[in-house]
Amino acid sequence: MCLGIPGRVVERFEEHGIQMGKVDFGGIIRRVCLECVPEIEISEYALVHAGFAIARINEDEARQVFAFLETMQELNELQATAEPVRLSHSIPPSQRQE
Amino acid sequence: MKYLDEYRDPQAAGRLVEAIHKITTRPWSIMEVCGGQTHTIVRYGIDELIPSGIRLIHGPGCPVCVTPLELVDRAVEIALRPDVIFCSFGDMLRVPGSQGDLFSASARGGDVRVVYSPLDCLSLAERNPDRTVVFFAVGFETTAPANAMAVVQARRRGLTNFSVLVSHVLVPPAIAAILSSPENRVQGFLAAGHVNVVMGYEEYQRLAEQFRIPIVVTGFEPLDLLEGVYRLVLMLEEGRIGVENQYVRAVHSAGNVRCQDLIHEVFETTDRKWRGIGTIPASGYRLQQKYSDMDAEQRFGVQLQTVVECADCISGLILQGIRKPHECAAFGSRCTPEHPLGATMVSSEGACAAWYNYRRLRIPTAVGAEE
């Protein structure tokens, strides 16, 4: 859970006094805080952890890391909905055995 | 070299493996700090590609694994309160406490939610003014900026119904504790790249000098790890101490200073108990006094009870690199990812889960026979 996930910044805006943005993670769009990467521009790539951008990275690196995280099934956190959990979800897909 | 065809660039991987064999003249014990690195090493068989004399020891860098049992119990206790919406990263929900996990709290009527970001909790708090939203703030330094920003923003937005249950842990004190242990066998470290994206590696230079060891800041992809091992073995063979940065694509020596400022605005260091290891001085973060009104432990007055771990679980020895997962009698039989006895089997970054997912069929134990 400590790994950053690369995504492409598709929108920037200010909200409650901080820099926020929408970031595209392979088709999943999430709201991300951009306050600590103020130099990043739309269409550039950010390394994002827990909805918070920690670095700007180049496109090649971003694509490579994202593909790797897909292989490792490390992208589940992007699906979190903040809805009450149900027991049918008790085993994360990454740990289900075939 | 059966694993090499799975690499993004098998030829580059082959060259690195060959180079590691060429420079290695004696046995070395290396610890990879990060659970994500452990996952990659086991998945890609990196420990089986390098010379058998190089022992890769899986370190304690899985925040889910080292969150103390007592704090999981405390989380469950808070989650069961009818006036609470308890939010967490998904990995924490199945970590067994002594009285069940957060999923069982949900089954008993607790309102437990998985969030993508701690910042998502703030809008939940705004939409539910008659309830308190509590976020389980676990993680290493990589996660601290996001959690700190949630606290800062809650204050700025005047939210009085948001609090955090903090269990942050820090890498450098854990490295120092491992190196100070009389049982220590680790001679060099692969540091956790994404932690260093935030924190840089100047503090690691001091560690390297104090303990006279080499450290290589390393990424978590297979080629990163092979290169990290190569550079670390070269430093060991040449008797060099200090810090090298393999992960230059993302890490700078000073780290992200804005992130660090944010962390220091909200948190201060504190002694922290690590599950399976014990208390390590100044190895965690707690809220600064000025944010203590958002401290869930103070708000709910729940008391830490010392709880005894399951006697069958050796996760403490595994987290210190003293034992390997398959050396545990419960591995794969009484302890599986579906029914974990200890936290190292819960998280996909835990050493036991990684071994279970990728190695169990090759281990001649009862579980192998059952498959």
Q: ipTM for the complex?
A: 0.90
Residues in chain B: 371
| Residue of A76, A78, A85, A86 to mutate for B, most B C-beta atoms under 10 A | A85
Provide the residue type at B313 as one letter. C
Burial class (CB in 10 A: 0-12, 13-18, 19+), A86: exposed
pLDDT at residue B144 in the model: 97
**How much is the average pLDDT of B55-67?**
89
Residue B57 pairs with which residues in a beta bridge?
A: B31
Q: At B319, which helix (H) or strand (E)?
A: helix B315-319
Please report the pLDDT score of residue A91 as a whole number.
Answer: 44
Q: Are B61 and B278 in contact (CB under 8 A)?
A: no
Confidence of residue B364 (pLDDT cuts 50, 70, 90): low
C-alpha span between B124 and B353 (Å, rounded): 32
When pLDDT is cut at 50, 70 and 90, the band that residue A1 belongs to is low
pLDDT class of B62 with cuts at 50, 70, 90: confident
Pick the range with the lowest mean pLDDT from B30-34, B319-323, B363-367.
B363-367
**Average of per-residue pLDDT values in chain B:** 91
A21: β partners: A12, A32
Statement: residue B371 has pLDDT above 50: no
Max Cα–Cα distance, chain A, nearest Å: 47
B281-316 pLDDT per residue, tens? 999 999 999 999 999 999 998 666 667 777 888 887
Q: What is the pLDDT of residue B341?
A: 86
Residue of A17, A52, A73 lying closest to B146 (CB–CB): A52
Residue B26: the pLDDT is 97
The whole-angstrom separation of Cα B198 and Cα B260 is: 7
pLDDT given at position B270: 97
What is the identity of the amino acid at A21? G
Q: Is the pLDDT of residue B130 over 60?
A: yes
* Structure confidence at residue B361 as a pLDDT band (50, 70, 90): confident
For B106, half-sphere exposure in the C-beta direction (CA atoms, 13 angstrom radius) is 20
Percentage with pLDDT > 70 across chain B: 95
Output the pLDDT for position B323.
Answer: 85
Residue B145: DSSP 8-state: H
Give the range among A29-43, B68-82, B311-325 with minimum mean pLDDT. Answer: B311-325
User: What pLDDT score was predicted for residue B156?
Assistant: 97
Helices B351-359 + B35-43 axis angle, to 10: 10
Which residues are paired to B284 by β-bridges? B169, B270
Share of chain B above pLDDT 90, in %: 74
**Region B11-28 average pLDDT:** 96
Q: Does A98 touch chain B (CB under 8 A)?
A: no
Q: What is the pTM of this model?
A: 0.91
Element (H, E) at B195: helix B193-199
What is the spatial distance between Cα B170 and Cα B282, in angstroms, rounded to a whole number?
8
Work out the pLDDT band at B338, boundaries 50, 70, 90. confident
Residues in B closer than 8 angstroms to A54, CB to CB, are 142, 145, 194, 197-198, 256, 259
Average pLDDT over residues B157-166: 97
Say how far apart CA A49 and CA B259 lie, in whole Å: 12
Q: Is A28 on the interface with B (CB under 8 A)?
A: no
- Which positions in chain B touch A65 (Cβ < 8 Å)? 221
Residue, of B130 and B320, whose pLDDT is higher: B130
Collapse the DSSP code of B214 into the 3-class scheme (helix H, G, I; strand E, B; otherwise coil) and give the result: strand
Q: Which of B307, B298, B301, B302 is nearest to B275 (CA)?
A: B307
Structure tokens given for B44: 């890609």
Q: Do A49 and B194 touch (CB under 8 A)?
A: yes
- For the stretch A15-21, contacts whose Cβ atoms lie closer than 8 Å and that sit 24 or more positions apart, written own/partner, are A16/B153, A16/B156, A16/B157, A17/B156, A18/B149, A18/B153, A21/A53
Quick check: B72 pLDDT over 60?
Answer: yes
Supply the DSSP string of chain A, one letter for each residue: ----EEEEEEEEEEETTEEEEEEEETTEEEEEE-TT-TT--TT-EEEEETTEEEEEE-HHHHHHHHHHHHHTT--GGGG---SBP-GGG-S-GGG---
User: What is the structure's pLDDT at B207?
Assistant: 97
Residue B363 has what pLDDT?
66
Give the closest-approach CA distance of A36 to chain B in angstroms.
5
Within 8 A by CB and 6+ apart from A67, the residues are B8
Nearest Cβ partner for B146 among A30, A51, A85? A51
Q: Other C-beta atoms within 10 Å of A30: how many?
A: 19
Provide the edge-to-edge strand list for the sheet that holds B214-218: B54-61, B28-34, B188-192, B214-218, B242-245
Give the rounded distance of the alpha carbon of B195 from its chain centre. Answer: 10
Question: For the residues B174-185, what does the mean pLDDT come to?
Answer: 91
Burial grade of B185 (CB within 10 A; 0-12, 13-18, 19 or more): middle
A:B CB pairs within 8 Å:
164
The amino acid sitting at B289 is Q
pLDDT in tens, B209-239: 999 999 999 999 999 999 999 999 999 999 9
Whether residue B106 and residue A36 make contact (CB cut-off 8 A), yes or no, is: no
Torsion sign across C-alpha atoms B49, B51, B53, B59: negative
Q: What is the pLDDT of residue B320?
A: 73
pLDDT, tens only, A29-78: 999 999 999 999 999 999 999 999 999 999 999 998 898 888 888 888 89
The answer for A 39-58 residues in CB contact with B (under 8 A) is: 47, 49-52, 54-55, 57-58
Taking residues B9-21, what's their average pLDDT? 94
